[in-house]
Structure 1
Amino acid sequence: MPRLFSAIEIPRPLAERLTLLRAGLTGARWIDPENYHLTLRFIGDVDGMTARDFAEALGAIEMPPFEIRLNGLGSFGGNKPRAIFAGVAPSEGLNALRRANDRAAREAGLPAEGRNFMPHVTLARLRNARADAVAAYLEHQGGVFADPFIVNRFVLYSSRDSVGGGPYVVEAAYPLED
Protein backbone atom coordinates (compact mmCIF):
# COMPACT_ATOMS: atom_id res chain seq x y z
CA MET A 1 0.00 0.00 0.00
CA PRO A 2 1.34 3.47 -0.79
CA ARG A 3 2.01 6.03 1.90
CA LEU A 4 -0.91 8.40 2.38
CA PHE A 5 -1.23 11.97 3.58
CA SER A 6 -3.73 14.77 3.24
CA ALA A 7 -2.49 18.14 2.09
CA ILE A 8 -3.13 21.50 0.47
CA GLU A 9 -1.71 21.92 -3.01
CA ILE A 10 0.42 24.98 -3.74
CA PRO A 11 -0.88 27.02 -6.69
CA ARG A 12 1.37 26.86 -9.76
CA PRO A 13 2.22 30.61 -9.84
CA LEU A 14 3.38 30.46 -6.22
CA ALA A 15 5.26 27.20 -6.82
CA GLU A 16 7.07 28.80 -9.75
CA ARG A 17 8.00 31.75 -7.56
CA LEU A 18 9.38 29.40 -4.91
CA THR A 19 11.64 27.78 -7.51
CA LEU A 20 13.58 31.06 -7.63
CA LEU A 21 14.96 30.10 -4.20
CA ARG A 22 16.58 26.93 -5.59
CA ALA A 23 20.25 27.87 -5.61
CA GLY A 24 23.24 28.57 -3.46
CA LEU A 25 23.16 25.75 -0.92
CA THR A 26 25.49 22.77 -1.11
CA GLY A 27 23.87 19.53 -0.01
CA ALA A 28 20.32 20.58 -0.95
CA ARG A 29 18.09 18.24 -2.94
CA TRP A 30 15.41 20.62 -4.19
CA ILE A 31 11.82 19.41 -4.31
CA ASP A 32 10.17 19.57 -7.74
CA PRO A 33 7.61 22.42 -7.75
CA GLU A 34 4.76 20.12 -8.78
CA ASN A 35 5.33 18.29 -5.47
CA TYR A 36 5.11 21.36 -3.22
CA HIS A 37 2.32 20.96 -0.68
CA LEU A 38 1.31 21.77 2.87
CA THR A 39 0.71 18.54 4.79
CA LEU A 40 -2.42 18.45 6.93
CA ARG A 41 -2.19 14.88 8.25
CA PHE A 42 0.45 12.25 7.54
CA ILE A 43 -0.98 8.74 7.61
CA GLY A 44 1.83 6.57 6.27
CA ASP A 45 1.47 2.99 5.12
CA VAL A 46 -1.96 1.58 5.92
CA ASP A 47 -4.11 -1.33 4.76
CA GLY A 48 -6.79 -0.84 2.11
CA MET A 49 -9.71 -0.75 4.57
CA THR A 50 -8.09 1.97 6.69
CA ALA A 51 -7.25 3.95 3.55
CA ARG A 52 -10.89 3.75 2.39
CA ASP A 53 -12.18 4.73 5.85
CA PHE A 54 -9.85 7.73 5.98
CA ALA A 55 -10.81 8.81 2.44
CA GLU A 56 -14.52 8.57 3.33
CA ALA A 57 -14.06 10.52 6.57
CA LEU A 58 -12.21 13.24 4.65
CA GLY A 59 -15.18 13.44 2.28
CA ALA A 60 -17.46 14.35 5.18
CA ILE A 61 -15.46 17.49 6.05
CA GLU A 62 -17.51 20.61 5.42
CA MET A 63 -16.01 24.07 5.71
CA PRO A 64 -15.68 27.21 3.62
CA PRO A 65 -12.63 28.20 1.58
CA PHE A 66 -10.05 30.28 3.43
CA GLU A 67 -6.90 32.27 2.76
CA ILE A 68 -3.32 31.42 3.68
CA ARG A 69 -0.03 33.20 3.19
CA LEU A 70 3.54 31.98 3.21
CA ASN A 71 5.54 33.58 5.98
CA GLY A 72 9.33 33.42 5.72
CA LEU A 73 11.92 30.68 5.33
CA GLY A 74 13.35 28.33 7.90
CA SER A 75 15.09 25.03 8.43
CA PHE A 76 14.45 21.89 10.42
CA GLY A 77 17.20 20.09 12.27
CA GLY A 78 19.12 22.75 14.20
CA ASN A 79 22.85 21.94 14.15
CA LYS A 80 22.18 19.04 11.74
CA PRO A 81 19.85 20.71 9.24
CA ARG A 82 17.70 18.29 7.28
CA ALA A 83 15.24 20.52 5.38
CA ILE A 84 14.57 24.05 4.13
CA PHE A 85 10.95 25.20 4.24
CA ALA A 86 8.65 28.13 3.60
CA GLY A 87 6.58 28.81 6.71
CA VAL A 88 2.87 29.57 6.74
CA ALA A 89 1.30 32.47 8.63
CA PRO A 90 -1.22 31.57 11.34
CA SER A 91 -4.71 30.99 9.95
CA GLU A 92 -7.88 29.93 11.76
CA GLY A 93 -9.16 28.32 8.54
CA LEU A 94 -6.00 26.25 8.24
CA ASN A 95 -6.16 25.23 11.90
CA ALA A 96 -9.81 24.21 11.50
CA LEU A 97 -9.02 22.11 8.43
CA ARG A 98 -6.10 20.44 10.19
CA ARG A 99 -8.31 19.59 13.19
CA ALA A 100 -10.95 18.16 10.84
CA ASN A 101 -8.27 15.99 9.17
CA ASP A 102 -7.16 14.77 12.60
CA ARG A 103 -10.77 13.83 13.43
CA ALA A 104 -11.05 11.98 10.11
CA ALA A 105 -7.90 10.01 10.95
CA ARG A 106 -9.27 9.06 14.37
CA GLU A 107 -12.59 8.02 12.78
CA ALA A 108 -10.59 5.71 10.51
CA GLY A 109 -9.01 4.12 13.56
CA LEU A 110 -5.63 5.81 13.27
CA PRO A 111 -3.68 6.98 16.32
CA ALA A 112 -3.47 10.64 17.29
CA GLU A 113 -0.75 12.66 15.59
CA GLY A 114 2.34 12.61 17.80
CA ARG A 115 3.88 15.82 16.52
CA ASN A 116 2.80 19.42 16.92
CA PHE A 117 1.42 20.95 13.74
CA MET A 118 3.85 23.36 12.12
CA PRO A 119 2.46 24.37 8.74
CA HIS A 120 5.15 24.60 6.08
CA VAL A 121 6.07 23.83 2.49
CA THR A 122 9.26 21.80 2.20
CA LEU A 123 11.51 23.28 -0.48
CA ALA A 124 14.62 21.11 -0.09
CA ARG A 125 15.85 18.09 1.78
CA LEU A 126 19.42 18.46 3.04
CA ARG A 127 22.26 15.98 3.19
CA ASN A 128 25.50 16.93 4.89
CA ALA A 129 24.64 20.63 4.76
CA ARG A 130 26.58 22.69 7.29
CA ALA A 131 24.49 24.63 9.80
CA ASP A 132 26.42 27.84 9.09
CA ALA A 133 25.85 27.43 5.34
CA VAL A 134 22.11 26.95 5.92
CA ALA A 135 22.01 30.04 8.16
CA ALA A 136 23.84 32.08 5.50
CA TYR A 137 21.44 30.81 2.80
CA LEU A 138 18.39 31.78 4.88
CA GLU A 139 19.84 35.20 5.67
CA HIS A 140 20.72 35.81 2.01
CA GLN A 141 17.25 34.83 0.75
CA GLY A 142 15.59 37.19 3.21
CA GLY A 143 12.26 35.35 3.38
CA VAL A 144 9.30 34.70 1.17
CA PHE A 145 7.02 37.53 0.20
CA ALA A 146 4.02 36.38 -1.78
CA ASP A 147 0.37 37.22 -2.10
CA PRO A 148 -1.98 35.06 -0.07
CA PHE A 149 -3.95 32.38 -1.86
CA ILE A 150 -7.39 30.91 -1.39
CA VAL A 151 -7.62 27.28 -0.36
CA ASN A 152 -10.73 25.90 -2.01
CA ARG A 153 -9.85 22.21 -1.81
CA PHE A 154 -7.53 19.76 -0.15
CA VAL A 155 -6.36 16.39 -1.41
CA LEU A 156 -5.40 12.89 -0.37
CA TYR A 157 -1.95 12.11 -1.76
CA SER A 158 -0.12 8.83 -2.09
CA SER A 159 3.60 8.42 -2.46
CA ARG A 160 6.08 5.63 -2.88
CA ASP A 161 8.32 4.74 0.04
CA SER A 162 11.41 6.76 -0.85
CA VAL A 163 13.72 9.42 0.50
CA GLY A 164 10.90 11.98 0.28
CA GLY A 165 9.96 14.70 -2.10
CA GLY A 166 7.63 12.82 -4.43
CA PRO A 167 6.37 11.92 -6.84
CA TYR A 168 2.98 12.35 -5.25
CA VAL A 169 -0.30 11.20 -6.77
CA VAL A 170 -3.66 12.81 -5.97
CA GLU A 171 -5.90 9.92 -4.94
CA ALA A 172 -8.93 12.10 -4.10
CA ALA A 173 -9.80 15.80 -3.96
CA TYR A 174 -12.17 17.39 -1.46
CA PRO A 175 -13.72 20.79 -2.27
CA LEU A 176 -14.27 23.44 0.36
CA GLU A 177 -17.57 25.21 -0.15
CA ASP A 178 -19.51 28.02 1.55
Structure 2
Amino acid sequence: MSNPLPERPVRIFVGFQIDSAIRESVQRFKDEIHAFAPKARWQRPESLHVTLKFIGEKDATTVEAVKRELAGIRAPQFNVAFRGYGFFPTPQAARVFWIGIEAAAELNQLAATVDEATARLGISKETHAFRPHLTLARGTGTSASPRWRKQDRDNQNFVTLQQKVAALPSPDFGSMTVKQFVLYRSDISREGARYAPLADFALLPNAFASSEPPSATS
Protein backbone atom coordinates (compact mmCIF):
# COMPACT_ATOMS: atom_id res chain seq x y z
CA MET A 1 0.00 0.00 0.00
CA SER A 2 1.40 3.41 -0.93
CA ASN A 3 0.21 6.96 -0.42
CA PRO A 4 2.48 9.68 -1.87
CA LEU A 5 3.70 12.26 0.61
CA PRO A 6 3.47 16.00 -0.06
CA GLU A 7 6.58 18.11 0.28
CA ARG A 8 5.34 19.80 3.45
CA PRO A 9 5.68 18.01 6.81
CA VAL A 10 2.87 15.63 7.73
CA ARG A 11 1.52 14.45 11.08
CA ILE A 12 2.19 10.76 11.60
CA PHE A 13 1.50 8.14 14.24
CA VAL A 14 1.72 4.37 14.68
CA GLY A 15 -1.31 2.26 15.54
CA PHE A 16 -3.47 -0.63 14.45
CA GLN A 17 -6.88 -0.97 12.84
CA ILE A 18 -9.82 -2.74 14.41
CA ASP A 19 -11.81 -5.52 12.78
CA SER A 20 -15.02 -4.67 10.94
CA ALA A 21 -17.15 -6.72 13.37
CA ILE A 22 -15.85 -4.72 16.34
CA ARG A 23 -16.19 -1.49 14.38
CA GLU A 24 -19.85 -2.29 13.72
CA SER A 25 -20.44 -3.18 17.37
CA VAL A 26 -18.90 0.11 18.48
CA GLN A 27 -21.02 1.98 15.94
CA ARG A 28 -24.22 0.42 17.30
CA PHE A 29 -23.21 1.51 20.81
CA LYS A 30 -22.44 5.00 19.53
CA ASP A 31 -25.84 5.20 17.84
CA GLU A 32 -27.52 4.39 21.17
CA ILE A 33 -25.70 7.08 23.16
CA HIS A 34 -24.83 9.81 20.65
CA ALA A 35 -27.86 11.92 21.60
CA PHE A 36 -26.58 12.18 25.20
CA ALA A 37 -23.57 14.24 24.03
CA PRO A 38 -24.57 15.76 20.68
CA LYS A 39 -21.95 18.54 20.79
CA ALA A 40 -19.02 16.21 21.37
CA ARG A 41 -16.74 15.34 18.45
CA TRP A 42 -17.54 11.69 17.78
CA GLN A 43 -15.11 9.54 15.83
CA ARG A 44 -16.25 8.35 12.43
CA PRO A 45 -16.41 4.54 12.15
CA GLU A 46 -13.68 4.48 9.49
CA SER A 47 -11.38 6.50 11.76
CA LEU A 48 -11.47 4.13 14.73
CA HIS A 49 -8.01 2.84 15.61
CA VAL A 50 -5.71 2.15 18.56
CA THR A 51 -2.65 4.40 18.83
CA LEU A 52 0.70 2.85 19.75
CA LYS A 53 2.73 6.06 19.42
CA PHE A 54 2.00 9.59 18.24
CA ILE A 55 5.05 11.00 16.45
CA GLY A 56 3.94 14.42 15.18
CA GLU A 57 4.88 16.49 12.14
CA LYS A 58 7.80 15.12 10.12
CA ASP A 59 9.23 15.74 6.67
CA ALA A 60 9.25 13.11 3.93
CA THR A 61 12.84 12.05 4.65
CA THR A 62 12.06 11.36 8.29
CA VAL A 63 8.86 9.52 7.38
CA GLU A 64 10.88 7.17 5.16
CA ALA A 65 13.38 6.65 7.98
CA VAL A 66 10.53 5.80 10.36
CA LYS A 67 9.26 3.23 7.86
CA ARG A 68 12.67 1.57 7.75
CA GLU A 69 12.93 1.40 11.54
CA LEU A 70 9.44 -0.03 11.91
CA ALA A 71 10.11 -2.61 9.18
CA GLY A 72 12.87 -4.07 11.34
CA ILE A 73 10.56 -4.85 14.26
CA ARG A 74 10.00 -8.54 14.98
CA ALA A 75 6.98 -8.93 17.23
CA PRO A 76 4.25 -11.54 17.68
CA GLN A 77 0.57 -11.32 16.91
CA PHE A 78 -1.66 -10.90 19.96
CA ASN A 79 -5.29 -10.85 21.02
CA VAL A 80 -7.17 -7.82 22.28
CA ALA A 81 -10.68 -7.45 23.71
CA PHE A 82 -12.69 -4.23 23.70
CA ARG A 83 -14.80 -3.87 26.84
CA GLY A 84 -16.14 -1.15 29.09
CA TYR A 85 -15.54 2.58 28.83
CA GLY A 86 -14.05 5.52 30.69
CA PHE A 87 -13.40 9.26 30.66
CA PHE A 88 -10.03 10.97 30.46
CA PRO A 89 -8.41 12.41 32.48
CA THR A 90 -11.14 11.95 35.14
CA PRO A 91 -14.95 11.77 35.10
CA GLN A 92 -15.02 15.13 36.92
CA ALA A 93 -12.89 16.83 34.23
CA ALA A 94 -13.67 14.69 31.20
CA ARG A 95 -12.21 15.63 27.83
CA VAL A 96 -12.20 12.22 26.14
CA PHE A 97 -14.69 9.32 26.15
CA TRP A 98 -12.94 6.02 25.45
CA ILE A 99 -13.54 2.29 25.17
CA GLY A 100 -11.38 -0.01 27.25
CA ILE A 101 -8.90 -2.56 25.93
CA GLU A 102 -7.84 -5.82 27.54
CA ALA A 103 -4.75 -7.40 26.03
CA ALA A 104 -1.82 -9.67 26.73
CA ALA A 105 1.61 -8.26 27.52
CA GLU A 106 2.51 -8.36 23.81
CA LEU A 107 0.54 -5.14 23.21
CA ASN A 108 2.57 -3.16 25.74
CA GLN A 109 5.75 -4.77 24.44
CA LEU A 110 4.94 -3.71 20.89
CA ALA A 111 4.30 -0.12 21.99
CA ALA A 112 7.63 -0.09 23.84
CA THR A 113 9.44 -1.55 20.82
CA VAL A 114 7.94 1.09 18.52
CA ASP A 115 9.00 3.77 21.01
CA GLU A 116 12.57 2.44 21.03
CA ALA A 117 12.69 2.18 17.24
CA THR A 118 11.60 5.77 16.66
CA ALA A 119 13.89 7.03 19.43
CA ARG A 120 16.84 5.87 17.33
CA LEU A 121 15.86 8.63 14.90
CA GLY A 122 15.91 11.29 17.60
CA ILE A 123 12.14 11.21 18.16
CA SER A 124 11.29 11.84 21.80
CA LYS A 125 10.46 8.77 23.86
CA GLU A 126 7.19 8.54 25.76
CA THR A 127 7.27 9.96 29.28
CA HIS A 128 3.98 8.42 30.44
CA ALA A 129 2.97 4.80 30.81
CA PHE A 130 1.23 3.30 27.78
CA ARG A 131 -2.52 3.00 28.43
CA PRO A 132 -4.22 1.44 25.40
CA HIS A 133 -7.73 2.65 24.62
CA LEU A 134 -10.07 3.34 21.72
CA THR A 135 -11.12 7.00 21.58
CA LEU A 136 -14.83 7.32 20.79
CA ALA A 137 -15.48 11.05 21.40
CA ARG A 138 -13.74 14.25 22.42
CA GLY A 139 -14.98 17.48 23.96
CA THR A 140 -15.45 20.57 21.83
CA GLY A 141 -13.22 23.10 23.61
CA THR A 142 -10.65 24.57 21.25
CA SER A 143 -6.94 24.88 21.89
CA ALA A 144 -7.35 28.67 21.74
CA SER A 145 -9.68 28.62 24.74
CA PRO A 146 -8.29 29.26 28.24
CA ARG A 147 -7.59 25.93 29.92
CA TRP A 148 -10.30 26.38 32.58
CA ARG A 149 -12.90 27.25 29.94
CA LYS A 150 -11.86 24.42 27.62
CA GLN A 151 -12.10 21.84 30.40
CA ASP A 152 -15.46 23.21 31.52
CA ARG A 153 -16.87 23.02 27.99
CA ASP A 154 -15.51 19.53 27.46
CA ASN A 155 -16.92 18.28 30.74
CA GLN A 156 -20.36 19.77 30.07
CA ASN A 157 -20.45 17.76 26.85
CA PHE A 158 -20.12 14.57 28.85
CA VAL A 159 -22.21 15.19 32.01
CA THR A 160 -25.42 13.69 30.63
CA LEU A 161 -23.50 10.97 28.80
CA GLN A 162 -21.85 9.83 32.03
CA GLN A 163 -25.20 9.62 33.77
CA LYS A 164 -26.84 7.67 30.95
CA VAL A 165 -24.08 5.13 30.27
CA ALA A 166 -23.74 4.43 34.00
CA ALA A 167 -27.26 2.99 33.88
CA LEU A 168 -26.44 0.66 30.97
CA PRO A 169 -24.82 -2.79 31.15
CA SER A 170 -21.05 -2.62 30.68
CA PRO A 171 -20.52 -3.01 26.92
CA ASP A 172 -18.53 -5.87 25.39
CA PHE A 173 -17.56 -5.21 21.78
CA GLY A 174 -15.72 -8.46 21.11
CA SER A 175 -12.12 -9.50 20.56
CA MET A 176 -9.70 -9.79 17.67
CA THR A 177 -6.19 -10.88 16.77
CA VAL A 178 -3.87 -8.03 15.82
CA LYS A 179 -1.84 -9.24 12.84
CA GLN A 180 -0.23 -6.00 11.71
CA PHE A 181 0.48 -2.46 12.80
CA VAL A 182 0.35 0.65 10.65
CA LEU A 183 2.14 3.96 10.13
CA TYR A 184 -0.61 6.52 9.61
CA ARG A 185 -0.76 10.03 8.23
CA SER A 186 -3.18 12.38 10.02
CA ASP A 187 -4.81 15.32 8.24
CA ILE A 188 -6.66 17.83 10.42
CA SER A 189 -9.59 19.87 9.12
CA ARG A 190 -12.72 21.54 10.45
CA GLU A 191 -14.55 18.27 9.91
CA GLY A 192 -12.06 16.50 12.17
CA ALA A 193 -9.04 14.29 11.63
CA ARG A 194 -8.73 11.90 8.70
CA TYR A 195 -6.21 9.08 8.71
CA ALA A 196 -4.46 7.43 5.78
CA PRO A 197 -2.14 4.41 6.07
CA LEU A 198 1.39 5.02 4.79
CA ALA A 199 2.81 1.55 5.46
CA ASP A 200 1.69 -1.75 7.01
CA PHE A 201 3.99 -3.98 9.07
CA ALA A 202 3.16 -7.64 9.62
CA LEU A 203 3.23 -9.22 13.06
CA LEU A 204 4.35 -12.82 13.22
CA PRO A 205 2.62 -15.89 14.58
CA ASN A 206 4.15 -16.65 17.99
CA ALA A 207 6.10 -19.64 16.70
CA PHE A 208 8.02 -17.44 14.25
CA ALA A 209 8.35 -14.16 16.17
CA SER A 210 12.07 -14.66 16.80
CA SER A 211 13.05 -15.67 13.25
CA GLU A 212 12.81 -13.62 10.04
CA PRO A 213 11.86 -9.92 10.15
CA PRO A 214 8.23 -9.14 9.24
CA SER A 215 7.46 -7.79 5.81
CA ALA A 216 6.46 -4.17 5.27
CA THR A 217 4.14 -2.90 2.56
CA SER A 218 4.82 0.70 1.74
Q: Same fold (TM over 0.5)?
A: yes
Task: For residues 86-106 of structure 1, give each alpha carbon's deviation from its aligned partner in whole angstroms, at most 9, with x where no partner exists.
Answer: 011142110111111111111
Correspondence list, 1:76-87, <5 A: 76-78=88-90, 79-87=92-100
Cα distance in 1 for residues equivalent to 2:45 and 2:139: 16
AA of the residue aligned to 2:97? I
2:35 to 18, 24, 35: 24
Identity score, percent: 29
Cα distance in 1 for residues equivalent to 2:121 and 2:11: 15
Correspondence list, 1:30-109, <5 A: 30-78=42-90, 79-109=92-122
Which one has the largest radius of gyration? 2
2:10/2:59 contact within 8 Å kept: no
**Structure 1 segments of 4+ aligned residues over 6 angstroms from their partners:** none
1:166 to 193, 211, 215: 193
Cα distance in 2 for residues equivalent to 1:168 and 1:161: 9
Offset at 1:112?
Answer: 1.0
Structure 2 residues without counterparts, runs of 5 or longer: 1-8, 141-152, 206-218
2:26/2:173 contact within 8 Å kept: no
Tell me which residue corresponds to 2:208: none
Cα distance in 2 for residues equivalent to 1:134 and 1:115: 28
1:68/1:151 contact within 8 Å kept: yes
Cα distance in 2 for residues equivalent to 1:164 and 1:122: 17
Cα distance in 2 for residues equivalent to 1:95 and 1:165: 28
2:100/2:132 contact within 8 Å kept: yes
1:150 to 171, 177, 182: 177
Tell me which residue corresponds to 2:132: 119
Offset at 1:162?
Answer: 4.3
Offset at 1:19?
Answer: 0.8
Tell me which residue corresponds to 1:13: 21
Cα distance in 1 for residues equivalent to 2:107 and 2:70: 15
TM-score, normalised to structure 2, is 0.75
Task: For residues 74-133 of structure 1, give each alpha carbon's deviation from its aligned partner in whole angstroms, at most 9, with x where no partner exists.
Answer: 111433321111011142110111111111111121111133211001111122342532
Cα distance in 1 for residues equivalent to 2:94 and 2:191: 15
Question: Aligned residues, how many?
Answer: 178
Going from structure 1 to structure 2, the CA distance change for 1:173 and 1:141 (only over 3 Å counts) comes to farther
2:16/2:181 contact within 8 Å kept: yes
AA of the residue aligned to 1:50? T
Give the helix-richer structure, 1 or 2. 2
2:163 to 106, 123, 136: 136
TM-score, normalised to structure 1, is 0.91
